[in-house]
């Protein structure tokens, strides 16, 4: 298993961060990484997610929403095309630090043979892409922009 974890502090309520994070229809308006999510915010539902990494890789994957804890945690789990090659669980956790100030923890836990074969380049690319998304989310929430 391999975990990539990033964090960012946002000057907003947990409710506001949750609202933007679960408004899948508007991801293309602000998100440089997850370009589109088709699906509903309902535990057990299948999503179709279109991503574009900072290194220019474009992919579509179809994870299942595994946990929805409003204003606190959102998780989805996806499997690679070949069983056991590369699976990932994306986890967004919102921690209330004080009124109108939260920490967003954005991470993914990878399992399967591919998590070891990807190496440092995969780690750096994914970490950088997560950080770009985190910053765009912060900017969207704090300044209403992209």
Domains and CATH numbers, the chain: 2-141 (3.30.530.20)
Rg (CA), the chain: 15
Task: Give pLDDT, residue 123.
Answer: 80
CB 75 within 8 A of CB 91: yes
CB 146 within 8 A of CB 50: no
* pTM, to two decimals: 0.92
Instruction: Give the residue from 35, 57, 1 showing the smallest Cα distance to 136.
Output: 35
- Comparing 2-16, 51-65, 94-108, the range with the smallest average pLDDT is 51-65
* Predicted confidence (pLDDT) at residue 146 exceeds the cutoff of 70: no
- Residue 26, classified by CB atoms within 10 Å of its CB into exposed (0-12), middle (13-18) or buried (19+), is exposed
**Highest mean pLDDT range out of 81-85, 120-124, 127-131?**
127-131
Sign of CA dihedral 86, 89, 90, 93: negative
Long-range CB contact pairs, 91-96, < 8 A, 24+: 92/21, 94/14, 94/17, 94/18, 94/21, 96/14
């Amino acid at each position: 298993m391999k975990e990539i974890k990033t964090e960012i502090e946002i000057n907003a309520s947990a409710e506001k961060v949750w609202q933007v994070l679960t408004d899948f229809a508007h991801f293309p308006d602000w998100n440089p990484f997850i370009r589109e999510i088709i699906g509903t915010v309902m535990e057990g539902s299948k999503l179709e997610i279109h991503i574009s990494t900072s290194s220019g890789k474009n992919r579509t994957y179809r994870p299942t929403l595994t946990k929805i804890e409003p204003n606190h945690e959102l998780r989805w789990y996806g499997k690679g095309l070949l069983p056991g090659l590369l699976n990932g669980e994306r986890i967004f956790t919102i921690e209330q630090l004080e009124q109108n100030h939260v920490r967003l923890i954005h991470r993914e836990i990878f399992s399967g043979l591919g998590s070891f074969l990807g190496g440092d380049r995969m780690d750096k690319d994914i970490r950088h892409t997560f950080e770009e998304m985190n910053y765009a989310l912060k900017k969207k929430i704090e300044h209403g922009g992209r």
